[in-house]
Structure 1
Amino acid sequence: MKNSARRFVAALLAAALTAACGGTGGDDSGGEMTLRIAQSSTSVGYFTLYVAQQEGFFEDEGLDIGEPSVLGGDSKVAAALAGGAADIGGGVATTAFLLADGGRDPRIVANLLNSYYVDVIVGNQFSQPPPDATLEEKIQALAGARIGVPAPSGGGAALLQFLFNQVGLDMETDVTMVNLGGSSSGAVGALQTDRVNALVFFQPIGQQVEAQQLGSIYISPSRGDIPDMTDQPHAVAISTAEIVEDKPEEMAAFVRAIARAQELIHVDRARTAELFGTYQSSLDPNTVELLLPVLQREVPDTPVLTEEGYAKTLDFHRVAGLAENAPDFATMSGDDLAGRALDE
């Protein structure tokens, strides 16, 4: 996986160069505050962005974000940031660390989801160990599996590497990795047709699989299956030092809008359910209802990145071999950019 991560960084920088050459660059908005936002998918990790936009919280802050681009992968979000095609990227913390390893000086502007919301999901055809199996035994049982992931170097692959490092398995030799892209229907279909017999995918794929009785959630950090990963920031809003310095008022306005969205998710269940139903329109109402308490538990009370939370995600990525040149907390948080924005 370390070699895969290094190859990812090389590809990222090449993609960034292409993006920089073909990007639109800055815009002339006549003084209006604008930010270009790109996100990797429409997973639950970026629901807060959707809430802030639909409820007009960005507009209330005098900020125009237009229509966020959904790029279909964290590597594409990283390339957009590195190449100047986006001001803020909705991605996983893994993306920030790999940007740092590539010398791109990232900043985590806001914590969007305070839980590692990627699950290991197995199909009905997978031979599971007994119900009382330990975590280590469950990991060992994955040897020889065909495992689908959204991308070769993202949150799914990082979780798998972290788990395999616990028991001495090798991702390149002990399993067959299948890159399925970010499509929810594609992932569920691959499991249903036995193209893969396991998935490592973001929520709500596991809930969809269970609702259709195609398999089950096998290992879930957000469920507490991996104690060391509780309260770990995962979905985050990422920028770069250069962009943050160039757009300080825009970044502060963004943080304040996200804070209002997070508050709504916690206090207004009915409106949250309505918004999530439109955000994930392919989900049936029963699945949405099952997800709501999970979502409310995972969304942090504040977008501020804490030093304790950063330490947890940093430890995870170091074990996975994905944070060789990680910035310290003060640097990655932009000297508490989010906290200062909320104090204004």
Structure 2
Amino acid sequence: MKACLKIGLSAVAAFLLIFAAACSPKEEVKKVKLAEVTRSVFYTPQYVALAKGYFKDEGLDVELKTTWGGDKTMTALLSDAADIALVGSETSIYVYAQGASDPIINFAQLTQTDGTFLVSREKKEQFEWNQLKGSTFLGQRKGGMPQMVGEFVLKKHEIEPHKDLELIQNIDFANIANSFASGTGDYVQLFEPTASVFEKEGKGYIVASFGEESGQVPYTTFMAKESYIKKNEETVEKFVRALYKAQQWVEKNSGEEIAKVVQPYFEDSDLETLAIVIERYKNQGSFAEKMTLTKDGWENLQNIMEEAGELPEKVDYAKLVNTEIVERVMKE
């Protein structure tokens, strides 16, 4: 009789546990629409966060869309086609200068150097920057960070971009590599993995890094409308927490291991090339492990913009940068 009673009580207890689990409210999965300015190995920590499920661990369903260009990315953010954008910090300054009532706030930094490389059509046994004088240089889109950093570095080496060489800036971002491959220009400014692929195929040769030459700058950051951050601060914090975890994982692992994780986002690139590119970015300190956009970095950004004649107005750091969320996450 006692045995039957025990079995009966156990069954009731099991039923109550199942009932409680079924009736307990599940944590709501929050969807986040993320727009990236381009698809690049430069953004490796972002793909690590996606591939390793760090966003899902935080209860986020992140939908990634590549918008191909700073203007298109900002349009997506302003029109609510995207909740969060990964793009150059200069775009937030452009929007602010146009009198936006809902400013775009930089809340987490992904990369802290330029991500482009100078590629020569001819192999150089010993490269000197003055070799660009008199050449045709296929640069990046006018007004974007790659173009501004490119001109900043040229001037640093006493090359006047609009006088000492033929500077081409009227080719759409997505077509720059193809234009060089088809014969346009003696030199070109390219992101990875395109630069390394060109070198492997004999289409060009990497001779210098704009990231090493320009120093630290908030090159690509995650940003959102001020109103979105206020209404969804918990979501943004979860988003940052997943990214911070990815940044730490990238810092601790080899290029080979990281390449295996992110390869699904670069199906046209082989593992060997991806590993080389990731190590190159790691070695020059491109990935912002701490993710905090500093005042010094913000000032360097505006100095580069001013030097390029693209700064519409000086904007105070506190107006367009929010570091509170990143700092909270890093203290955990």
The TM-score, its normalising length taken from structure 1, stands at 0.77
Aligned to 2:210: 221
Output one character per residue of 1:83-141: Cα deviation in whole Å (capped at 9) or x when no partner: 2221111112232332233333221121111211022322129xx7x9363x4x245x1
* Partner in structure 2 of residue 238 of structure 1: 223
Q: 2:303 aligns with which of 304, 312, 315?
A: 315
Structure 1 gaps, min length 5: 1-29
- Give the match for residue 36 of structure 2: 39
Deviations 1:191-223 (A, max 9, x none): 23213333222222222221112222244222x
Tell me how far 1:181 sits from its aligned partner: 3.5
Name which of 230, 241, 262 aligns with 2:247. 262
1:277–1:288: 8 Å Cα contact kept in structure 2? yes
Aligned to 1:291: 277
- Could you say which residue in structure 2 is the equivalent of 1:154? 144
Distance 1:250 1:314 in 2: 30
Does the CA contact (< 8 Å) of 2:135 and 2:187 recur in 1?
A: no
The alignment partner of 1:36 has SS state of strand
1:131 partnered with 2:126: yes
Task: Provide Cα deviations, 1:223-262, integer angstroms capped at 9, x if missing partner.
Answer: x3x2xx2232212112222222222111111111110111
What are the ranges of 5 or more consecutive residues in structure 2 without an aligned counterpart? 1-26
Match of 1:272 in 2: 258
CA deviations on 1:32-82 (whole Å, 9 max, x unpaired) are 43321111111123222211111111111122222x111111110111122
**TM-score, normalised with respect to structure 2:** 0.79
Structure 1's 194 and 148: CA in aligned 2 closer, same or farther, altered over 3 A?
farther
Counterpart Cα distance in 1 of 2:97 and 2:192: 27
Which structure has the larger Rg over C-alpha atoms? 2
Residues 111 and 138 of structure 1, relative CA distance in 2, 3 Å threshold: farther
CA RMSD between the two structures: 2.8
1:1-344 equivalent positions in 2, closer than 5 A:
32-66=29-63, 68-104=64-100, 105-124=103-122, 131=126, 133=128, 135=129, 137-139=130-132, 141=133, 143=134, 145=136, 147-149=138-140, 151-163=141-153, 165=155, 167=158, 169=160, 171=162, 175-183=166-174, 186-222=175-211, 224=212, 226=213, 229-269=214-254, 270-297=256-283, 298-343=286-331
CA distance in 1, matches of 2:95, 2:131: 32
Return the alpha-carbon distance in structure 2 between the equivalents of residues 99 and 69 of structure 1: 21
The aligned length equals: 300
SS state at 1:231 partner = coil
